[in-house]
Amino acid sequence: MYQINFNKPIHVHFIGIGGISMSGLAEILLKENFKISGSDAKSSDIIDNLIAMGAIINIGQCAENISDDIDLVVYTAAIHEDNDEFAACRAKNIPMLTRAQLLGQIMNNYKYSVAVSGTHGKTTTTSMLSQIFIEADTDPTISIGGILDSIGGNIRVGKSEFFVTEACEYTNSFHAFYPYISIILNVDADHLDFFSGIEEIIESFHTFATNLPENGTLIVNGDMDCLPLVTRDLSCGILTFGLQDTNKYYPADIETDEKGHMIYTLIVNGVKQERVHLNIGGTHNISNSLAAIAAADLLGIEREYTLAGLACFGGAHRRFERKGTLGNVTVIDDYAHHPTEIKATLTTALHTPHNELWVVFQPHTYTRTKALFEDFAEALKGFDHVILVDIYAAREADTGLVHAKDLAARIKSLGTDARYFSSFEAVENYLLLNCKKNDLLITMGAGDVYLIGEELLGK
């Protein structure tokens, strides 16, 4: 595998540079004086920012973008061999790395690297830990799969030995990471277009854990049934967190304030510690915060900075993000696109003051919708009103085996008001006519469903 020498900057070209993770890696290299070029299907604010920093970016992908002075090409899992730029690189024998391989090499430059993995909660937990690092004035380098207001985006390049990043299991990409601390928040059935089932997913997380050095530590959710399989035969340290009192880090005396934000007493090794005040809701976020606290403790960060960081963290963008009010209707946007995530968002919403609870859900990928069809229906039936829009295809082609209107019909059969609309405009018109005073409206999904809320708030 090609190895980057960060003391000798080269010309790196990114195929698909506009993605949230790819753009972050490009920004890190730009600030390390690398020459950066790239391409993407369409322009965006992210691309405009990279251009302002000195990157050369083409809109549209073609073989002509691959110039002879390119030393290395980085590509995402969405890029395949039939891509014109990919094929041109192969023809010119230009070294190539996946996004994950580059991230792994960047990580190796930091003594205290933390990789946050899990089927759910990666962005939130990485953001929590980032906020803690910032409060403690550690000058960290940060790579997040979402936007964090306190760093003005998804990337921060620091000058210290601290580095924190998300670690995604899709296509086993996190197997390219060799951090000092790994966090496993949870292990659930997802990405079934790649994995054969939960057994293979568990094995993938176990492999990720084996990448830790002997002096490293795995911070893992001790409430998981698959814990023994994930942690078997590891030579590193193991530290557990969770909601049960069998873990090293767990909560007690859980309460919510008038805004639905979580408050709890931290317990470590059975000993009561400080009272923790989160600026976000949801029991799942208590679990996420415990993982962040454990990592901060391991890295020697004083607890006062940890508590301050958690108290001021108001959530990453698209994670139960309050977008505004339409009349007396509160509009929330959330990234949930898996039944487990939907249930967690529903729990948070139920603890948020409201009259009736509305959700506009955009299923994400045909494979996931088909494989978890009944689980989606069970998770969504807890809302008062459910609106389905067309499945967001992402990297997939329509198989014809599942449709959003099928899911709407199934939810309706379970006794919940559910309906399907074929256009965002139709959804917006329906909501304007039917949402009432003090209702809570959530746009939900990993695609572009957030545009509905933004359009409504602009009216």
- Is a pLDDT exceeding 90 seen at residue 452? yes
pLDDT tens-digit series, residues 416-428: 999 999 999 999 9
Residue 459 — very low, low, confident or very high, per pLDDT cuts 50/70/90? low
* Distance between start and end Cα atoms, the chain: 53
Neighbours of 235 (CB within 10 A): 10
Sequence-ordered list of residues with C-beta below 8 angstroms from that of 109, at least 6 positions apart, any chain? 6, 163
Q: What pLDDT shows up at residue 171?
A: 87
Comparing 22-31, 91-100, 317-326, the range with the smallest average pLDDT is: 317-326
What percent of the chain is helix, strand and coil (3-state, nearest 5)?
A: 35, 25, 40
3-state secondary structure of 451: helix
Distance CA(111)–CA(216), nearest Å, equals: 11
The kind and range of the H/E element at 441 are: strand 440-444
- Is a pLDDT exceeding 60 seen at residue 85? yes
Residue 238 is given by DSSP the state E
Question: What values do phi and psi take at 266, rounded to 5?
Answer: -80, 130
pLDDT tens-digit series, residues 149-194: 888 888 898 999 999 999 999 889 899 999 999 999 999 988 888 8
Comparing 23-37, 316-330, 366-380, 424-438, the range with the smallest average pLDDT is: 316-330
pLDDT tens-digit series, residues 113-162: 999 999 989 999 999 999 999 999 999 999 988 778 888 888 898 999 99
Active site residues: 122-123, 166
Sequence-ordered list of residues with C-beta below 8 angstroms from that of 169, at least 6 positions apart, any chain? 117, 119, 191, 201, 204, 205, 208
Enter the pTM of the model. 0.80
**What is the chain's mean pLDDT, rounded?**
93
Q: How many residues belong to the chain?
A: 459
pLDDT tens-digit series, residues 29-63: 998 899 999 999 888 888 999 999 999 999 999 99
